[in-house]
Chain A
Amino acid sequence: MTPKTLSPLLCTIPLLPLAGAAINGFFGRKASKKAISAVALMFCGAAFAMALFIAANFSSASAPYSFNLAHWIRSGIFSVDFDFYLDQLSLVMLLVVTGVGFLIHIYSVGYMWEDDGYYRFMSYMNLFMFFMLALVLAKNYLVLFIGWEGVGLASYLLIGYWFTKDSAAAAGKKAFIVNRIGDFGFLIALFLMIKYFGSLDFTHIFTAVRTLPTESGGAGLLTAIGLLLMVGAAGKSAQIPLYVWLPDAMEGPTPVSALIHAATMVTAGVYMVARSSAIFERAPMALTVVAIVGTLTALFAATIGIAQTDIKKVLAYSTISQLGYMFMACGVGAFSAGIFHLMTHAFFKGLLFLAAGSVIHGIGGEQDMRKMGGLRVYMPWTFLTMGIATLAIAGIPPFAGFWSKDEILWRAFGASWVYWLIGVVTAFITSFYMFRLMYMTFGGEYRRAAVQELHGHDDRDKTHAARTGVSAPHGHGEPHESPWVMLAPLVALAVLSVFGGFVGYGNRFEHFLAPVFHGASEVAQETSREAGNSTLEYLLMGVSISVAGLGWLLAHLLYSRRPQLPVRIAASLGGLYRAVANKYYVDELYSVLFVKPVVDGSTEILWHDVDQGAIDATVNNSAAAARHVSDNVRYMQSGNLRSYAGWVAAGAAVVIAYMVWMGVR
């Protein structure tokens, strides 16, 4: 198939979900749930089918494809168009977004069926797909930015989906505001590009950048752009210091957590950094910052994950940690490894969230792992698929996560052993908290009944039941397996989590992406280097597998063999444990450092002093003065006709007297 016939399809892919969103959004209120589901799934599925069709006809020789939909901004020599672009990187993202997105749409049908705002939910989900696809298919930074902001909007709408709950509304706002900080950096980077390159087009900028020398020092145009882009990526992809919104975003429905806050949207930052690889390669300093931020985030978030008891919070911190891995990979120049992990992560983390959703659904809205346990008997399919995802994320071969994580660690070792060491420690912690989650959820006995006797009926459960109506028809005395419409996506993602890693076998994935990231010569160099160190590579691989095994073993000892032990350990650690359980008090720190000064400053200075004291006072005082004067002169208008006549006569007398007097002079 020639590029000419393939390219026009590019713009239809994002527009399909947009049409779905519009139809459901405008007409969904009155439509039946079956019709809503049909529309949402059809448009999303059509996008997926089209992505598959494009992938089948994709040829690296004629890539990249591009398609100009319409002119947008024309101003002097500067111009921005609605341009779409497809190269190997976009293709990977396209398949991940449409594929995982479609599966999660199917799952949502089962999960959200009982919810009153079903049409709203489906419409938002389709809207998200539109923006995400615009993001990955953009040919210039401005179209990418539309998608970037759009997914932020969809994320906000879906986090605050149960907006009658204060915590959900607050979490939506928090996500939006924290992202705004990152977007501010991104926007300045765009301004710099316009100023110095006169364009936002990828091809144009990257060609221009490749003619520039590599910047050695800490200062320089490309370093500045790179760092600002990283600020944007840190906001969207929840990296230190802007990661705080993601755990709170778990207030959204679980399919949203899976689609937006695990599989696709949060990886947009990684995609953007990888897309800008040409800029970063000329700015080593910025690249180092990316690597350090990623590495620290990976370790930091993983340690928080150990002490969380909410099943979704564990997964949220795990997501932050895995995103840190991806940035670490990008930071050491292994962009394709980062994208590889992005892809496998989308499979297994999407699966983990969906399975967690299935668990929550099955026991009537409970998210606290301390009240779960023993669920493998009740939910064998959920247990099986979630187990596969856990093996994948822990890095046990041959599951998908092993291949990508191993690739990242290997490449990190090539840059510095420090990155590798922290990466391995993180892998150990990851394995530990994931198996801890598995043992607490599925192992042992079902603890819910006992807990219920102690606490009576749980409030959280009530709210969830009211929200979703999950427990209304079947009660929650007995945990139950989810319906097939929810299990089918789990199984599909489980298959991908098992086999998805094999695309990276023999560096095929890296070679596929090579044209995007490097010149051909560098690839050859890369291959020879790796061949020379195969012994070392196997050694490192052995280490990472064994730490994953150790993590499993530790979790088994603590949470399966001796369930009383973790409590005692936590008690003996005291302050350290409390710090971890409270997420290192980062939210509190931000509250003191940023939120409180802003709120207090706004209240005292801007509100009380400026607004009330100056602006309102000017308006109010002038109005009060006018009123005061009017109050006093209104007695002239008595309504008595003859008093008016008197005023007229008096006025006339004054005028005549004046004229006579002037006439005399």
Chain B
Amino acid sequence: MIPLSYYLLLSGILFACGVLGFLIKRNIITIFMSIELMLNGVNLAFVAFAAHWHALAGQVFVFFVMVVAAAEAAVGLAIIIAVYRTRDTLNVDRVNLLKL
């Protein structure tokens, strides 16, 4: 039996990687993948706790997160394609028309 702390450590590492990626990468696809990484880190924590406490609520929550992530991916990728078509770039620093 693998102890709970291992799962949580892995979950934290995944989340931290996501945050780091989100902060330092400029490519919008990479940023998007970083967000997915954070969500999955959180998902891992959910299922770990659900297994540990023998409670189903955590697993149910994971499904919700997956659904939202799927929806987000659909919308987000659509936006990315639209941005690429109009701006000819995937660099977020160059997508700054609304910035003062």
Contact = CB atoms under 8 A, between A and B. Distances in A.
Interface of A: 639-642, 645-646, 649
15 contacts: A639-B96, A639-B99, A639-B100, A640-B93, A641-B92, A642-B22, A642-B23, A642-B24, A642-B92, A645-B19, A645-B22, A645-B23, A646-B23, A649-B19, A649-B23
Contacts of B19: 645, 649
Contacts of A639: 96, 99-100
A217 to B, nearest CB: 82
Contacts of A645: 19, 22-23
Contacts of A646: 23
Contacts of B24: 642
Contacts, number: 15
A530 B19 CA distance: 116
Interface of B: 19, 22-24, 92-93, 96, 99-100
Nearest to B22: A645
Most chain A CB atoms below 10 A, which of B19, B24, B96, B100: B19
A222 to B, nearest CB: 77
Contacts of B93: 640
Contacts of B96: 639
A645 B20 CA distance: 10
Most chain B CB atoms below 10 A, which of A639, A642, A646, A649: A642
A639 to B, nearest CB: 4
B93 to A, nearest CB: 8
A469 to B, nearest CB: 60
B19 to A, nearest CB: 5
Contacts of B100: 639
Nearest to B19: A649
Nearest to B31: A642
B28 to A, nearest CB: 11
A113 B77 CA distance: 84
Nearest to A649: B19
A583 to B, nearest CB: 68
Most chain A CB atoms below 10 A, which of B22, B24, B92: B22
Contacts of A642: 22-24, 92
Nearest to B95: A641
A649 B19 CA distance: 7
Nearest to B25: A642
A627 to B, nearest CB: 19
A639 B92 CA distance: 12
A648 B48 CA distance: 26
A639 B100 CA distance: 8
A49 B91 CA distance: 94
A657 to B, nearest CB: 13
Given A640-B93, A641-B92, A649-B23, 12 more contacts: A639-B96, A639-B99, A639-B100, A642-B22, A642-B23, A642-B24, A642-B92, A645-B19, A645-B22, A645-B23, A646-B23, A649-B19
A646 B20 CA distance: 9
Contacts of B99: 639
A639 B96 CA distance: 9
B96 to A, nearest CB: 7
B97 to A, nearest CB: 11
A640 B99 CA distance: 8
B63 to A, nearest CB: 25
B82 to A, nearest CB: 17
Contacts of B92: 641-642
A157 B78 CA distance: 74
Nearest to A638: B99
B100 to A, nearest CB: 6
A649 B20 CA distance: 9
A641 B92 CA distance: 9
B36 to A, nearest CB: 15
A649 B24 CA distance: 13
Nearest to B24: A642
A-B pairs with the 7 shortest C-beta distances?
A: A639-B99, A649-B19, A646-B23, A642-B23, A645-B22, A645-B23, A639-B100
A563 B31 CA distance: 108
Most chain A CB atoms below 10 A, which of B23, B24, B92: B23
B71 to A, nearest CB: 21
A645 B18 CA distance: 12
B76 to A, nearest CB: 14
Nearest to A643: B23
A640 B24 CA distance: 12
A456 to B, nearest CB: 66
A649 B92 CA distance: 19
A646 B19 CA distance: 8
A432 to B, nearest CB: 84
B15 to A, nearest CB: 10
A651 to B, nearest CB: 12
Nearest to A642: B23
B94 to A, nearest CB: 12
Nearest to B26: A642
B95 to A, nearest CB: 9
A507 B85 CA distance: 112
Contacts of A640: 93
A233 B10 CA distance: 98
A391 B71 CA distance: 109
Nearest to B98: A639
